[in-house]
Structure 1
């Protein structure tokens, strides 16, 4: 009678799906993002016009859009743009506004950690809310082509930088009196529009109210533009604490 093996059988590990990075994914991403890129270009035109109102040059607008590539941060920085520049407030506000990129990067890390460092980090420069969401939907559907993020991000980058430069170049030629065209209200209008897609239900109301309350108090009692930083920080902290519960 043959001896029974006492070895313990171990289940075979499920192989992780391969991640590709090729021109097919790149151009698929570039095509998919065009409708969103057109919408971002509208904000870019507004940014360019407003940048002219705080006396940024065309080159400065190009460098800010090309190196920062973060629309909400750039618009906030314009509202802080006074001489002498509040460098600390600008840096801290930018960090807070873009802190969500840490979470987005963590979400796509299972796929991007399997790319070479050059491909991964070069692609992540073009990470935005919009192309992150599209790319994650592709990954969830089993379409693991990481170049989709690069193609969609590069398309957004081109639309954004081009539209901001056009807005800065043409804006001052057309708009001599910003208040006449309502552009003195443009900052407020743009940020109200940006809030709409961020509303996810009543659970978001408390952080928003705290942010607004702190900002109003800071604007009343503190000089300069610190109310922007303090309001954003207060709202972020409350949001984190609520999710921690």
Structure 2
């Protein structure tokens, strides 16, 4: 019997997708617990931390958002966190575009849910499945729901773990975010030449952070890194 190469949705695909996401669980758990811990130390309430994980659901943006988080909000700080989040998450536009052949005939509500749940790890799992001839959209949704649930549970656990430590600097917990982002670069290393945009982005960010008040250094570093990458290529 020939496999069904047209996109389709099955309930069996949901459970298959959840199982396919298992290899990504350890990374999700560690990252989300780190966020929960950092949110607790930053002074966020459990509802605020849990809400960020549930509705923003973007690890890097959540971490960066903590750096900008204020007790009292103003239009300027709201605009700042919106801009930074948009810049950090801009890659999701490209990831979502690659799913168009798979989702183009799906109901709009299910498509919106799939796009909300997409992550770097989920995208890798599912694009591999698609490239091997799989077309069951249930696997995309099942893996996305499983990873989202793990993210929420680990945020909850991380928040209470952080609340148990009254002096985070004493144990080096204030270094959770910079260490995590540094560790994220390790698997991306492809040699000195592809890493040059990292160096440019870091140097420009540092210069802007030193000379210009506020969080413009994040946007400046991102733009500089993109331009450097384009010139190198």
TM-score of the alignment, normalized to the shorter chain, above 0.5: yes
SS in 2 for 1:114: coil
Q: 1:73-222 to 2 correspondence within 5 Å?
A: 73-85=61-73, 86-173=77-164, 175-222=165-212
| Aligned residues of 2:5 and 2:134 also touching (Cα < 8 A) | no
Residue matched to 1:41: 29
| Aligned residues of 1:26 and 1:150 also touching (Cα < 8 A) | yes
Q: TM-score, normalised by structure 2?
A: 0.90
Higher Rg of the two aligned structures: 1
Residue matched to 1:3: none
Gaps of 5+ in 2: none
Residue matched to 1:13: none
Residue matched to 1:53: 41
Q: Using the alignment, how far apart are the partners of 1:184 and 1:122 within structure 2? A: 34
| Aligned residues of 2:36 and 2:154 also touching (Cα < 8 A) | yes
Per-residue Cα deviation, 1:62-115 (whole angstroms, up to 9, x for no partner):
111100101011011111223554222211111111111111111111111022
Q: Using the alignment, how far apart are the partners of 1:227 and 1:238 within structure 2? A: 16
Shift of 1:197: 2.5
Per-residue Cα deviation, 1:26-62 (whole angstroms, up to 9, x for no partner):
1111011123123211111111111112111000011
Match of 2:58 among 55, 65, 70: 70
Residue matched to 2:17: 29
Q: Using the alignment, how far apart are the partners of 1:180 and 1:72 within structure 2? A: 25
Q: Using the alignment, how far apart are the partners of 1:83 and 1:224 within structure 2? A: 16
Shift of 1:237: 3.6
Q: Using the alignment, how far apart are the partners of 2:179 and 2:60 within structure 1? A: 13
Shift of 1:195: 1.6
Of 89-98 and 67-76, more deviation after overlay is shown by 89-98
| Aligned residues of 2:32 and 2:155 also touching (Cα < 8 A) | yes
Gaps of 5+ in 1: 1-15
| Aligned residues of 1:214 and 1:230 also touching (Cα < 8 A) | yes
| Aligned residues of 1:38 and 1:159 also touching (Cα < 8 A) | no
**Is 1:20 aligned with 2:11?**
no
Q: Where is the helix percentage greater, Structure 1 or Structure 2?
A: 2
Of 160-169 and 193-202, more deviation after overlay is shown by 193-202
Q: TM-score, normalised by structure 1?
A: 0.86
Per-residue Cα deviation, 1:161-217 (whole angstroms, up to 9, x for no partner):
1111221123112x1111121112112101101122333343422211111011111
